[in-house]
Amino acid sequence: MTSAEIITIGTEILLGEIVDTNTRYLAKSLRGLGVDLYRTITIGDNEDRIASAIRSSIERADIVITTGGLGPTIDDPTREAVAKAVGVETEFREDLWEQVVETIARYGRKPSENQKRQAYVPRGAIGVRNPVGTAPCFIVEIPPPPDRDQGVRAVISLPGVPNEMEQVLHESVIPYLQKRFNLNEVIKVRVLHCAGLGEGMIDEKIADLEMLSNPTVGLAAHTGVVDVRIAAKAKNEGEANAMIDGVESQVRERLGSVVFGADEDTLAEVTLNLIAKRGWTLAAIEFDLNGLLARTLRLPHAASFSNASTDSLMQALRAARAESQADIALGVSVQHEERAAEMAMITPRGEKTHRITYGGPPRSLPYWAVNLALNWLRMTVEEIK
């Protein structure tokens, strides 16, 4: 099976000045090609550290993709680092320089002298055209080692600018990978979203499924929500989907209504859709949440208060429901010092309250409270026939 690693390059990423979106995009693209991604790392703009990271990745993976560090300045060291990693010098390529000149000419300018650095690549590299930027890309193919049962490996260096990286990836790199590595499989992923049970309890119910090798099943816990990830590798998308369907049906059978959605579904959207299908309207109030419940439910007129007891929460909820003439109403109050949440609800069947304590990080308490309240609302609406 073909494997890959991704190395994002840029001190600005390590300093938290920008968010690395390239890794996620590349990972999903590789998944669609059936390539197993082993590792992703970020390295600052240091030639020696980048070269060391590339050498290490080459030892493990068939494909090493770097992003960033292909600009014209001295703090863009990727070209030199790749050359050092594979044991060659860099060389000036006239064809790549013509690409740089042509791109800059589109803006009515002439290239500066330092931009000639962008036409240097490791000796013997395959030049890759960048149709939307000034930084040409390149691929260095590494022959198989004589003492190892391993095929050709490739180091592929792409720009750090996301729209440039994506364009070059789809136009040149994906076709190269499909041909060079004879990629004829896909990896499909489906994520089931769960609420109402913790990660440990879900694990107990589907532990045997987590031992499967293909499809694979894994868990990821969030604040008040747990994801069950099902990933399948197959020769085509239809076969992969069929494999996932079989496991998904088992997960849903064991977890029942704990599963509230899949993939892009959110707890708020699923809950609001259930309410809309009943033909109902919703009112909401919150205490000490700074508008989080209103934003999550996209209710611009939800009332927000401070310092509520259960009695005052219910009183305020009754008033909000009466004023809006809503069919159903939800109130959430957070007690930060007690690390607890009070919830109240009014439905066509009556009133009820709920209190629960929280043991996680204090800053996550509001998000946890809102998700638990939304799931409580979802389950209540589902129960009303």
Is residue 302 pLDDT above 70, yes or no? no
Could you tell me what percent of the chain has a pLDDT over 70? 96
Comparing 77-81, 149-153, 217-221, 378-382, which segment has the lowest mean pLDDT? 149-153
The number of C-alpha atoms within 13 Å of 246 and in the hemisphere containing its C-beta is 11
Please tell me the predicted confidence (pLDDT) of residue 301: 62
Q: Which residues contact 30 (CB under 8 A, 6 or more apart)?
A: 4, 37, 63
Q: In terms of domains, do 12 and 103 share one? A: yes
Confidence of residue 115 (pLDDT cuts 50, 70, 90): confident
Q: In terms of domains, do 204 and 257 share one? A: yes
Of 227, 242, 262, which residue sits at a domain end?
Answer: 262
Is 381 in contact with 344 (CB distance < 8 Å)? no
Greater model confidence, 149 or 247: 247
Is 50 in contact with 43 (CB distance < 8 Å)? yes
Is residue 128 pLDDT above 90, yes or no? yes
Of 200, 231, 262, which residue sits at a domain end?
Answer: 262
Cα–Cα dist 350/380, whole Å: 11
- Residues paired with residue 230 on neighbouring β-strands, in sequence order: 190, 217
Q: In terms of domains, do 10 and 116 share one? A: yes
Q: What angle do CA 214, 220, 221 make, to 5 degrees?
A: 155
Residues 229-281 pLDDT 10s: 999 999 888 999 999 999 999 999 999 999 999 999 999 999 999 999 999 99
Pairing of strands 340-347, 328-335: antiparallel
Please tell me the predicted confidence (pLDDT) of residue 358: 87
Q: Which two tokens stand for residue 112?
A: 């500066």
Burial of 269: CB neighbours in 10 Å, binned 0-12, 13-18, 19+? middle
Q: In terms of domains, do 17 and 156 share one? A: yes
Is residue 309 pLDDT above 90, yes or no? no
The Cα diameter of the chain in Å comes to 80
CATH code of the domain containing 220:
3.30.70.2860
Q: In terms of domains, do 370 and 331 share one? A: yes
Is 67 in contact with 138 (CB distance < 8 Å)? no
Q: In terms of domains, do 132 and 16 share one? A: yes
Q: In terms of domains, do 15 and 99 share one? A: yes
Greater model confidence, 291 or 4: 4
Is residue 113 pLDDT above 80, yes or no? no
Residue identified by tokens 């609800």 is: 345
Strand order, beta sheet including 303-305: 303-305, 282-287, 328-335, 340-347, 350-357
CATH code of the domain containing 165:
3.40.980.10
CATH code of the domain containing 304:
3.90.950.20
Cα–Cα dist 259/380, whole Å: 15
Please tell me the predicted confidence (pLDDT) of residue 270: 95
The number of C-alpha atoms within 13 Å of 128 and in the hemisphere containing its C-beta is 26
Pairing of strands 153-158, 63-67: parallel
Give the residue from 132, 133, 154 showing the smallest Cα distance to 144: 154
Give the residue from 287, 209, 294, 289 showing the smallest Cα distance to 253: 209
Of 150, 180, 210, which residue sits at a domain end?
Answer: 180
* Tally of domains in the chain: 3
**Distance spanning both ends of the chain, measured CA to CA:** 51
Comparing 104-118, 177-191, 236-250, 368-382, which segment has the lowest mean pLDDT? 104-118
Residue identified by tokens 């590299």 is: 125
Q: In terms of domains, do 253 and 278 share one? A: no
Confidence of residue 307 (pLDDT cuts 50, 70, 90): low
Prediction pTM value: 0.77
- Domain range for 357: 267-383
Please tell me the predicted confidence (pLDDT) of residue 312: 84
Helices 78-86 and 47-60, axial angle in degrees (round to 10): 50
Q: In terms of domains, do 127 and 152 share one? A: yes
Could you tell me what percent of the chain has a pLDDT over 90? 68
Q: In terms of domains, do 92 and 11 share one? A: yes
Q: Which residues contact 87 (CB under 8 A, 6 or more apart)?
A: none
Q: In terms of domains, do 147 and 30 share one? A: yes
Q: Which two tokens stand for residue 59?
A: 């030892």
Residues 59-106 pLDDT 10s: 999 999 999 999 888 878 999 999 999 999 999 999 988 888 888 887
Q: What angle do CA 332, 262, 248 make, to 5 degrees?
A: 125
Please tell me the predicted confidence (pLDDT) of residue 310: 60
Average pLDDT, the chain: 90
Please tell me the predicted confidence (pLDDT) of residue 308: 59
Q: In terms of domains, do 170 and 190 share one? A: no
Residues 189-226 pLDDT 10s: 999 999 999 999 999 999 999 999 999 999 998 888 99
